[in-house]
Structure 1
Amino acid sequence: MNQSHFEPGRITNVRRGFTLIELLIVLAIIGLLVSLFTGAVQNARESARRTQCMNQQRQLALGIQMHAAKHEYLPSNGGDDGKCTVTSASGKPIRVGTYTFAVDHQFWWGVGQPGASPTQQTGCWAYAILPSLEQGEAYQNVQVESAGPLFRCPSRSRADPLVPRDDSYGRYSGGGRAWAKTDYAGNRRVMLNFPDAQRLSAIADGLSNTLGTGEKAFDPIIQTETSWYYDEPIFSGGSNGTVRSGLLIERDGPGARYMDNWGSAHPGGALFSRLDGSTGFLTSSVDGELFRSLIDPKDGAL
């Protein structure tokens, strides 16, 4: 009968397990690989969202060009003419406005007017170009809840607009309706307030050297789904919620200097379109003089 036996100086059939240090090293490697993979996935998703955002701004730029070709004027930012009303949820005509506590003042906003000429349009630029974006029904019937998706950056996490509700910043007159908002602002030096509107010939620096739209700065603590504070909606006109002309590009988040500045959820800067229809990314560290020259259509710097 065969018998297994132990020979001095020789070890046979011994199973050796992992030491604690080896297990920790393996776990650390797995964790590193997971983090690298997760980061790559997130970067790929952000790249796709950024591309979509750029395509949306390109469509807006095309809408602005089509508007200008038809009317020989760039769209204005609109504004109140003293007669603007919109039908409230209860069916009554109301004026649209924001009472701002910081300056103790009631601001009345314009409302989009179907078929109005550029110099008489009381809705903002975003409303004025809706027919060029194949949203003629929303334009013609002033469907204030419509037209949102094209104007919303997919990288920016914010809830769909709700009926505006008074808060510590202001009181909002929206007629009990949830108005669509925009993440893209017009260049205030180009989209003038009612009753002014600019002809293309007024852009002395050239269309390729002048910004048309860009992503606007956003503080999610303040610009909530029920607030209009510096975030007035697409179908209104004359407010700072739909135009910007500041020289800062802010990253989304609490404390962002949103009142007149640009910004986005994209790392490092924001997307802009120019009046010639081109789009591009400007970093937060863009040279101030260059940025100023792109905003001002008549500075002659370029």
Structure 2
Amino acid sequence: MRRSMKSGFTLIELLVVIAIIAILIALLLPAVQQAREAARRSQCKNNMKQLGIAMHNYHDVFQMFPIASSVAPPVADGPGNRNMDKVHAWPWGMRILPYIDQAPLYNQLDVGSSSITIPIADLSVPTDFLTAQTPGSIESLLTTTIPVYLCPSATGNTVNHYQHNLGTMMYAMTSRFAVYPNTSNPLGISTADVLDGTSNTILMGEKALMEAPFVSIGANWASHRPAGSRIGIVHHTSAMNTPFDGSRDAANNIYIENTPGNVTRAVIASAHIGGAHVLLADGAVRFVSENIQDDPSTSLTGNFLYTNLFQLEDGNTIGEF
């Protein structure tokens, strides 16, 4: 009598199958991750387009872009107040709320008032960000998450990854919004002021990273203090309304995730591979390479593409980027 032979996998065959599956997973996983990052990068670009539309809608109504912010006289320390140097007026991130489908929040904050009458924390600092969210307080409203302000590739305790261009002003909060000339005029600028052309001048850029120790923190759409609340080609000093004095941080450029060293406050920075998005004054969004030509000195005396994009009336020719 013949014995029936049972068919099945041998141990070697099973190991071969497992090895093949592991190889396929190893090959496919990077492709899946790249596809996800491409989708996140596309969403980030769309966010900036929406902010560009909001900026121009604001411009249509007020004949100028919104100002970055301004400062009011110091407020004495007291019960319920933080000891701050200044109380700041409503920054650009609040002023465009009605144009990004956030009119109810705009009305709750009463942005039409002249200034923020309650001193609020520097919400770009992680500890203040966490303690600021007291239920029912104005600060809890200021930490509201607004999707269009968030780059899906970035992480950290932040509610805004996009910041305005301070140009060559040394102190952002009292200079004019976006493409600042060397002036202390606190009024916003119009497209007519952009003498180099709206397609050649940065209005806004990604700010997904900050200087150490706040790497990957970004900033707050209600940020009223300089840290993390602007981009440009110079580092701020303690002097307000001070134009560029001829000396800047040599490290300014575009930074991406895991950039070694100290990331200075004014840089464009993103969590994307190879560069970051910028919103131009004409409403177009461009992805700028981290290898863009930049001035390696601290004086900005040369004609370099990266620095030219931040200035609205330097007269320099803008090449391809």
TM-score, normalised to structure 2, is 0.64
- The answer on 1:188 being equivalent to 2:140 is no
Structure 1 residues 127 and 233 mapped into 2: Cα distance closer, same or farther (>3 Å)? same
- The answer on 1:44 being equivalent to 2:59 is no
Residues 34-89 of structure 1: per-residue CA shift (max 9 Å, x gap): 1121111111111111111111111111111111111111112103211689xx9x
Cα root mean square deviation, aligned: 3.4
Partner Cα separation in structure 1 for residue 41 and residue 204 of structure 2: 16
- The answer on 1:295 being equivalent to 2:310 is yes
Residue aligning to 1:164:
none
Residue aligning to 1:171:
none
Conserved 8 A contact 1:109-1:236: no
TM-score, normalised to structure 1, is 0.68
Which structure 1 residue ranges, 5 or more long, are not aligned?
A: 5-12, 98-106, 111-121, 162-180
Partner Cα separation in structure 2 for residue 194 and residue 234 of structure 1: 23
Structure 1 position 237, deviation (Å) = 2.8
Residue aligning to 2:49:
58
Conserved 8 A contact 1:65-1:277: yes
- The answer on 1:214 being equivalent to 2:229 is no
Aligned-pair identity in percent equals 27
Q: Identify which of 124, 148, 165 aligns with 2:91.
A: 124
Partner Cα separation in structure 1 for residue 263 and residue 219 of structure 2: 16
- The answer on 1:136 being equivalent to 2:123 is no
Partner Cα separation in structure 2 for residue 195 and residue 3 of structure 1: 99
Residue aligning to 2:173:
none
Conserved 8 A contact 1:250-1:256: no
Conserved 8 A contact 1:60-1:133: yes
Partner Cα separation in structure 2 for residue 96 and residue 64 of structure 1: 33
Structure 1 residues 26 and 261 mapped into 2: Cα distance closer, same or farther (>3 Å)? same
Structure 1 residues 156 and 109 mapped into 2: Cα distance closer, same or farther (>3 Å)? farther
Q: Identify which of 246, 250, 258 aligns with 2:255.
A: 250
Pick the structure with more strand per residue. Answer: 1
Q: SS at the partner of 2:42? A: helix
Structure 1 position 222, deviation (Å) = 2.9
Give every structure 1 segment of 4 or more consecutive aligned residues whose post-TM-superposition deviation is greater than 6 Å.
17-20, 22-25
Larger radius of gyration: 1
Structure 1 residues 237 and 194 mapped into 2: Cα distance closer, same or farther (>3 Å)? farther
> Could you say which structure has the greater relative contact order, defined with CA pairs below 8 angstroms and 6 or more residues apart?
1
- The answer on 1:82 being equivalent to 2:73 is yes
Partner Cα separation in structure 1 for residue 275 and residue 16 of structure 2: 38
Partner Cα separation in structure 1 for residue 25 and residue 148 of structure 2: 34
Which structure 2 residue ranges, 5 or more long, are not aligned?
A: 110-140, 168-176, 234-251, 295-303
| Worse-superposed segment, 253-262 or 197-206 | 253-262
Partner Cα separation in structure 2 for residue 47 and residue 62 of structure 1: 23
Partner Cα separation in structure 2 for residue 47 and residue 134 of structure 1: 26
Residues 206-244 of structure 1: per-residue CA shift (max 9 Å, x gap): 11111111111515973389x8xxx55322335242211
Partner Cα separation in structure 2 for residue 3 and residue 237 of structure 1: 89
| Worse-superposed segment, 136-145 or 277-286 | 136-145
Structure 1 residues 24 and 49 mapped into 2: Cα distance closer, same or farther (>3 Å)? same
